[in-house]
Amino acid sequence: MRTQLASLQQSISMERQTAESSLTQARERCADQRRDREAAIERKYAADAAQPEAGAPAAVTR
C-alpha cells in the first residue's frame, strides 16, 4: 500500500511539473504574440500619422 501511495505521489509530482512547464511556455508565447501585435499597431499608427489624411488641405510652404 505504501509503495502504491509513493508511486502515485511521484506520478502526481511529475504531472504537476509537466503542467507548470507547459503553462510557462504558453505564457511566454502569449507575451511574445502580444508584444508583436502591439508593435504592429504602433507601426500602423506611426505610418498613418506620417501620411496626411485624404481630403485634408495640403501644408502651405513659403
Please answer whether residues 24 and 18 qualify as being in contact, where contact means their C-beta atoms are separated by less than 8 angstroms: no
Per-residue confidence (pLDDT) for residue 25, from 0 to 100 = 98
Phi-psi region at 57: left, alpha or beta (left = phi > 0; alpha = psi -120 to 50): beta
Q: Is pLDDT above 90 for 61? A: no
pLDDT digits (tens, 9 = 90+) for 1-14: 999 999 999 999 99
Residue 28 grid coordinates: 511566454
Q: State the average pLDDT over residues 19-36.
A: 98
